[in-house]
């Protein structure tokens, strides 16, 4: 119980920092006068790091063990958060992307160690329930982050100007405007860096149950690619993270549009807490429901309802369009931990490598939002949400067919 409580704080930390990207996107879009495809490079840089660093992270966990890998991940995240200070002082969009890459590299190490640690910390039959519970604290972080970010970053920024006014500025005026707007990022990220360092020290001193990597996973020469349920599960993680991040990333700009919410960016960002708050409530409820219901059935139901809600949002305007999209968060809730535990079930010695593959699949959070940004530039933000609908449709397939297949391609 004590170990679960300690590890849950790590889930909270990476959820909080991941969701702050949803606040950075409208803020940086205005500062640097970017289109949707360009500003979605924020998520592309952040989530691509999962793909690049997931397999090295697996090696780090194997080399250092779970606890020291968690500390390493936290300290790397702290360095990434500090890099926001020079990025805002210059200010330069490529430097913001660099800071996000370092931050995400640390988060990759943290996820690669913490997710399988929770899964093997108790009985295998309750692994999905246990991971849903800790993911609930991840969602608590994502729920609080929009309030924190809209107040300290968007709310503290000076009055923004429109594109025509920015284009009329000379280079000195434009630089001064960007410095002034970007300055609101400094204090929050310095504070977060300090908090991450403190958390790293606490985790380092905490007596977590020792589960050696080799003891937990054993050794095998078998390939993870032989296991159909795992491979299809990696695709499911890819599309799930992509859909969730794409919706959260564009929600602030979507709600600020005249035909949807007709509000300022700061006001629109405030509604993000309901999207992520729904995910938090759903995960705590899901942790209890999964003690009684089959994981596959609940996953299929949630994915189908999420797809329907996005379709309704695309076909309506005003409050209907807003609240149906917000409600998707509730049904997103159990998807990641459920897919994760279904994909690694029964893999034994391959569990460590399988975890690395699933964390690499989080790169969907880079690809899908970028594609949706391109769609938004070409067909409009309202209709661009067709992409998450397709993602949820695949998850329904995985829950009903993919996860029910034999684990091995050889059988």
Q: Which residue has the higher pLDDT, 93 or 266?
A: 93
| Each residue's pLDDT tens digit, 257-289 | 999 999 988 888 889 889 988 988 888 888 788
Mean pLDDT of 215-243: 83
Q: What distance in Å separates the CA atoms of residue 117 and residue 113, rounded to the nearest whole number?
A: 6
Q: What distance in Å separates the CA atoms of residue 297 and residue 223, rounded to the nearest whole number?
A: 29
pTM above 0.85, yes or no: no
| Each residue's pLDDT tens digit, 37-50 | 999 999 999 999 98
Least confident of 25-34, 79-88, 286-295: 286-295
Mean pLDDT of 301-329: 96
pLDDT for residue 102 is more than 50? yes
Q: What distance in Å separates the CA atoms of residue 99 and residue 189, rounded to the nearest whole number?
A: 11
Q: Which domains does the chain have, with CATH numbers?
A: 2-207+215-404 (1.20.1250.20)
Q: Which residue has the higher pLDDT, 258 or 165?
A: 258
Task: Please report the DSSP string for 209-233 in residue order.
Answer: ----HHHHH------GGG-HHHHHH
Q: Name the 3-class secondary structure at 160.
A: coil
Q: What is the pLDDT of residue 409?
A: 39
pLDDT for residue 2 is more than 80? no
Q: What is the pLDDT of residue 411?
A: 32
Q: What distance in Å separates the CA atoms of residue 303 and residue 393, rounded to the nearest whole number?
A: 7
Average pLDDT, the chain: 87
Least confident of 94-98, 229-233, 281-285: 281-285
Helices and strands (H, E) in the chain, number of each type: 20, 0
- Integer angstrom CA distances of residue 234 from 230, 313, 384, 391: 6, 28, 24, 13
- Estimate to the nearest angstrom the gap between the alpha carbon of 26 and the chain centroid: 17
Cβ pair 338, 295 in contact under 8 A: yes
Query: What percent of the chain shows pLDDT beyond 90?
Result: 47
φ, ψ of residue 213 to 5 degrees: the values are -55, -45
Least confident of 65-74, 206-215, 291-300, 320-329: 206-215
Q: What distance in Å separates the CA atoms of residue 109 and residue 116, rounded to the nearest whole number?
A: 12
For residues 179-202, one letter each, b for 16 or more C-beta atoms within 10 angstroms of the residue's C-beta and e for the rest, the string is eebbbbbbebbeebbeebbebbee
Cβ pair 348, 230 in contact under 8 A: no
Q: Which residue has the higher pLDDT, 197 or 6?
A: 197
* Residue 152 DSSP label: I
Q: What is the pLDDT of residue 267?
A: 87
Q: What distance in Å separates the CA atoms of residue 33 and residue 217, rounded to the nearest whole number?
A: 49
Q: What distance in Å separates the CA atoms of residue 99 and residue 92, rounded to the nearest whole number?
A: 11
């Amino acid at each position: 119980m004590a170990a679960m409580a300690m590890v849950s704080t790590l889930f909270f930390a990476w959820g909080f920092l991941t969701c702050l990207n949803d606040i950075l996107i409208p803020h940086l879009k205005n500062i640097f006068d970017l289109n949707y495809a360009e500003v979605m490079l924020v998520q592309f840089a952040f989530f691509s790091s999962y793909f690049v660093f997931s397999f090295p992270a697996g090696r780090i966990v194997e080399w250092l063990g779970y606890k020291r890998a968690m500390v390493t991940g936290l300290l790397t995240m702290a360095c990434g958060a500090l890099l926001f200070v020079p990025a805002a002082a210059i200010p330069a969009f490529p430097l913001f992307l660099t800071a996000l890459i370092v931050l995400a590299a640390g988060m990759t190490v943290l996820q690669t160690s913490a997710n399988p640690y929770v899964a093997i910390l108790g009985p295998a039959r309750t692994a999905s329930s246990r991971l849903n519970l800790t993911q609930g604290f991840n969602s608590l972080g994502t729920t609080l982050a929009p309030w924190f970010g809209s107040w300290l970053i968007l709310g503290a920024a000076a009055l923004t100007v429109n594109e025509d006014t920015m284009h009329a500025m000379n280079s000195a005026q434009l630089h001064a405007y960007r410095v002034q707007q970007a300055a609101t990022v400094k204090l929050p990220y310095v504070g977060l860096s300090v908090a991450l360092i403190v958390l790293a020290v606490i985790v380092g001193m905490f007596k977590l149950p020792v589960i050696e990597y080799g003891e937990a996973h054993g050794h095998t020469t078998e390939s993870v690619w032989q296991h159909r349920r795992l491979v299809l599960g990696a695709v499911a993680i890819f599309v799930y993270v992509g859909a969730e991040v794409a919706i959260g990333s564009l929600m602030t700009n979507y709600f600020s549009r005249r035909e949807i919410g007709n509000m300022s960016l700061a006001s629109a960002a405030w509604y993000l807490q309901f999207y992520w708050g729904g995910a938090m409530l759903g995960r705590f409820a899901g942790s209890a429901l999964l003690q009684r219901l089959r994981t596959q059935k609940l996953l299929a139901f949630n994915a189908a309802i999420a797809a329907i809600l996005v379709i309704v949002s695309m076909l309506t305007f005003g409050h209907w369009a807003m609240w149906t999209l917000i409600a998707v968060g509730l049904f997103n809730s159990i998807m990641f931990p459920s897919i994760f535990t279904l994909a690694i079930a029964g893999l034994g010695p391959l569990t460590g490598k399988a975890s690395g593959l699933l964390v690499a699949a989080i790169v969907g959070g880079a690809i899908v939002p970028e594609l949706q940004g391109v769609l938004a530039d070409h067909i409009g933000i309202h209709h661009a949400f067709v992409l998450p609908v397709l993602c949820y449709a695949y998850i329904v397939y995985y829950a009903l067919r993919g996860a029910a297949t034999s684990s091995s391609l050889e059988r």
